[in-house]
Chain A
Amino acid sequence: MELCNTPVGNQKLRIPKETMKQKMDVLQGTLALMILKTLDVLGPLHGYGIARRIEQISGDLLAVNQGTLYPVLLKLEQEGSISSEWGASEHNRRARFYRLTRDGRKQLQAETRDWNQTSAVIARFFAAKSEDFS
């Protein structure tokens, strides 16, 4: 039996599949918000540009695995938050440029509000001392 020809046999390549998926879900949420904000601030940008920007601001979140950006970009595009088209990069080569759509802007505003509320609440919890609860 040829292993590599069986559809399930292919799975041997995807080693830690389950754990990776979970990390992705957490990452995807924050990453999506960062992408939206980046495009909001800087305007249309290609994948590398977005990665650079996120790296500059967030430090090492994307220091490895920059590639994880692309599935998130696709998800946002399919949800209609961003759109994309071919354009010329700095080196005059073909690159895919992403831009925020109207839906995306609204989503960003809503999520920013949510995020601020949540982080404010969490911040207050962390600031609280033990006597505050008594």
Chain B
Amino acid sequence: MKILKRSLARLRNLFSRHQDDQRLKEEIAEHVALQTAENIRAGLSSAEARRQALLKFGVVESMTEDYRSERRFLFFDTLVQDVRYAFRMLLKAPGFTAVAVLTLALGIGANTAIFSLVDAVMLKSLPVKNPQQLVLFQWDDNKWAPQFGQTGWDSKYSFSYPAFQQFRAQTNVLSSAFAWVPLGFNDENMTVGINGQPTLANGQMVTGDYFSGLGVTPLLGRGINEADENPGAPRVAVISYAYWSRRFARDASIIGRNVALNGISFTIVGVTPSSFYGVQVGTEPDIWVPFDDKPNMRPWSTQPGGGTAASVYTARNWLCVNVMARLQNGVTRAQAQSSLDVLFHNYVTADWHPDNESRVPHLFLAQATEGLPQLQEGTAQPLYILMAAVGLVLLIACANVATLLLARASARKKEISVRLAIGASRPRLIRQLLTESVLMSLLGAALGLVFAAWGTRALVALMSSSSNQLILDVNADAKVLLFTLVAAVLTGILFGLAPAFRITRIELAAAMKDTAANVSDARDKHRLGKSLIVFQVAVSLVLMIGAGLFVRTLVNFENKNFGFDQQNLLSFGLDPTRAGYHDARLVSLYSQLLDRIQSLPGVKAATLVEYAPFYGVADNNDTSIEGEGNKSVSYNVRSQMVGPDFFTAMGIPIIAGRAINRTDTAASPKIAVIDETFARKFFHGQYPIGQRFSGGDKFDPKNSIEIVGVAKSAELTDPHAELKPKAYYAYAQSAKYLDTMFFEVRAQGAPANIISELRDAVYQLDPGLPLMDLKTQTEETADALSQERLFARLTTVFGLIALLLAMVGLYGTMAYSVTRKTHEIGIRMALGAKPANVLAMVIRQGITLALLGVAIGIVLALGATRLISSMIFGVTPYDPVTFFVVAAVLVAVAFLACFIPARRAMRVDPMIALRYE
């Protein structure tokens, strides 16, 4: 207790040094004055009285020291001294300081940049009121109920609107519940008419509780509320701060303005605050509208229930919305979950009677502080791998600076010896040296924060694709600053500790004489330096091998044959349903436009497809084949609606039967072309032409389709995916399901040349149809491979930084060693060693270190690359070519790093060298 009180008092005193020194001074003065007066009264002369008083008081200095050490933690006093002294020492060697601080800034900055990204993606809470109270609805989608159909990204977070309405009614456990759904799969899912011009925006439908449930207060106007959900209520929209700035120049009179959204007039009633980006990290809607069942505006731009339901409100088994809620006060997540699970169970089993209760999926409530974890789930592993890579870069930076410190140790030997000689204790000196290294790493961290601020933004730009911008708040928050501070302090201690111990271990007498006699000590010191070099080489080899594997992965993807011709191919999407085109009218629009485009000069071929290659979205359907009886066997088949000439235009060969062509219309029998994978997997060698299949888990003759052709397999969805069985349908025969289609146009020359003609062709037909996702297939493929590209680039940069640092370290060590051995080299040469021998000797020493590092690095890499095996493609984690090339490059560069000091050693003049001391 007493100790606690004293410590508290000392802590308080930290900030009041001068004032308290003043108090002691006054007390001493008064004490001496009183004693002097006493002495005078006793008969002494005034001078003698004062002298006696002072004598009696004792030594003021030592008492003051005791007083001070009583008053405060002495540690802090000396810390200030140490820091001041450390600054002076760093300023004395500006070159050394600059190199060390820059190295550390690179290392720490890279770590801060990647951590900022980890923070923005994984750790930041939603910018809403009490985000930790939010729960996200999910279910175990591996127990798929047969009646379920889903549209959207992750099925485990998807629910049907009617199910949501039942959840929302559970006010005994939920204080508010809200659902939302994007209007399409990319950022351009809504057409906004501004001054009569159609533009594209990212729209989302939300239920009435969305803004109030999240606790978001609009910057201007109001949010969407329950009344807006009523049928017949005036149509209203809320826009984001970013969209307001971008499109309306932050016009304060925006509230009440009418805009045409997908051709329907809406009134803007609110603008969200700038910090709000919705509930999914990485995305930001531009416009929020209430749920609506008008055909112009549908969840995911898709027909409700895949064409089977009239509206989102009635599609009982169409999973398309995401749901979040806040719990009622006093209700735990477990209580709410069990109560809602009963509800969900009844909902699922109302349309389905499984033979076993355990096949019914359960509902879960997950904590949703960070929102819908779409981005988190996809990027967690890559981010952690990058974090590990930059961690290694920082380790190399540490080793590098440690090497520098060791080299500097000889320059400071005399200073350290003098301090030891006059009585400084070794721990005290180590502390002083550590203060210097931590100070250096803090300076490095400060500079690193600047690098990181720039680097993180560059990273986000690299991670975005042209159609799906990654929107992240990467501003450094307290977590990032704390991370950087901790990284800096640990770094400083890590690289400073070993050199500090080594430097202060000095044979005093020998060091003071400063002769070359203390060879044993120097050799010892050199061993630490050498192991640091070996370590740097080994770790940089690991990083470079990782980089090599990622580069090969990217190259392998880029050169992969996906089964269609990517040359001079241009694609764009249209969603005429937003402008009111449906069914037969829509088919006729598409076919007219296709005719126009095909007849454009410069166009070699053109066709239509439901999803452009590598757009990343596909329809997957249960399919049953005739003749398998009532076995109830269904296969998951990926389907695409395509236009006439699809196979010739895309360069996909037909290997049996015929292609889909212009005669396949709504009036003719329904046909399909399947691909090789489908034929091989489900027909087991039977001839598939003429066979029939249907959707669903039982063959349905009334809705069955005849197979008329087999195409070669091609990957059209995701460059990373395995080939899936595919079926192609004629779009003209599927008018009921038809919405967005992509035009695939093969140009005769460069695709960029025909862009304006394409725009004109669309505009002439209907000026209200904006072109979406207009890009060449090369761009589309590049976008789909953005993560591979990011990894190849980043790890290459990290690998090169590591290589550079390791080689600077090797060069420095060898150069230092040559300088130190000038005397020895002189003797050797005087005794007849040839310059070539000296050259070989120095290079041999350096290369030995490099080879040792390479050997250790290969062993480490064999273990490390297995961790990234899921992220590489077309190479094994122990790809011998990569290992060999990287090792060879490293040894070659190491040779160069040794050659320069070796050549200097070779040119040593024995006469000068022997006089050198």
Please list the residues of chain A having a beta carbon within 8 angstroms of any beta carbon in chain B. 1, 3, 5-9, 11-14, 20, 24, 46-48, 51-52, 63-68, 70-71, 74-75, 77-80, 89-91, 93-96
Contact = CB atoms under 8 A, between A and B. Distances in A.
B85 A91 contact: no
Interface residues of B, number: 44
B82 A68 contact: no
A78 B27 contact: no
A71 B70 contact: yes
A77 B9 CA distance: 9
B409 to A, nearest CB: 16
Given A7-B85, A48-B34, A67 B423 contact: no
Nearest to A74: B70
Contacts of A47: 27, 30-31
B23 interface: yes
B428 A20 contact: no
A94 B26 contact: yes
Nearest to B428: A8
Contacts of B26: 94, 96
Given A3-B418, A7-B81, A65-B57, 14 more contacts: A3-B422, A7-B82, A20-B62, A48-B31, A64-B58, A68-B66, A70-B28, A71-B63, A71-B66, A79-B2, A79-B6, A95-B27, A96-B23, A96-B27
Interface secondary structure of A, over-half rule: helix
A7 B432 contact: yes
Nearest to A66: B57
7 contacts: A1-B418, A9-B419, A68-B63, A68-B66, A90-B34, A93-B33, A95-B34
Contacts of A1: 415, 418
Contacts of A68: 58, 63, 66
A8 B63 CA distance: 19
Given A9-B422, A14-B62, A71-B66, A48 B30 contact: yes
Interface secondary structure of B, over-half rule: helix
B81 A67 contact: no
Contacts of A80: 2, 5
Contacts of A51: 31
A20 B59 CA distance: 12
A75 B10 CA distance: 10
B24 interface: yes
A87 B104 CA distance: 56
A15 B418 CA distance: 17
Nearest to B425: A8
B153 interface: no
Given A47-B27, A79-B6, A93-B33, A13 B61 contact: yes
A98 to B, nearest CB: 10
B578 to A, nearest CB: 75
Interface in B57-77: 57-63, 65-67, 70-71
Contacts of A64: 55-56, 58
Q: Which of B37, B63, B82 has the most CB of A within 10 A?
A: B63
B424 interface: yes
Nearest to B34: A48
Given A71-B63, A75-B70, A79-B5, A8 B30 contact: no
Contacts of B28: 67, 70
B35 interface: yes
9 shortest A-B CB distances, which residue pairs? Answer: A65-B58, A8-B424, A78-B9, A67-B63, A7-B81, A48-B34, A71-B66, A67-B58, A48-B31
Nearest to A95: B30
Contacts of B23: 96
B56 A66 contact: yes
Interface string B780-813: 0000000000000000000000000000000000
A78 B16 CA distance: 14
Interface string B17-31: 000000110111011
Interface string B419-455: 1001110001100100000000000000000000000
Contacts of A79: 2, 5-6
A51 B58 CA distance: 13
B57 A67 contact: yes
Contacts of B6: 75, 78-79
B78 interface: yes
Contacts of B57: 65-67
Nearest to B29: A93
A91 B63 contact: no
B70 A48 contact: no
A12 B415 CA distance: 16
A67 B82 contact: no
Given A78-B70, A80-B5, A11 B423 contact: yes
B58 A66 contact: yes
B616 to A, nearest CB: 63
Contact of A6 (B60, B66, B419): B419
B415 to A, nearest CB: 6
B65 A89 contact: no
B67 A71 contact: yes
A71 B23 CA distance: 12
A28 B792 CA distance: 69
A67 B10 CA distance: 21
Contacts of A90: 34
Nearest to A81: B2
A33 B734 CA distance: 101
A28 B56 CA distance: 18
B27 A70 contact: yes
A34 to B, nearest CB: 17
Nearest to B10: A78
A34 B499 CA distance: 50
B30 A89 contact: yes
A108 to B, nearest CB: 14
A7 B67 CA distance: 19
Contact of B56 (A63, A71, A91, A94): A63
Q: Which of B34, B59, B424 has the most CB of A within 10 A?
A: B34
Contacts of A96: 23, 26-27, 30
Contact of B429 (A8, A66, A78, A91): A8
A11 B424 contact: yes
Interface string B151-189: 000000000000000000000000000000000000000
Contacts of B415: 1
A3 B31 CA distance: 34
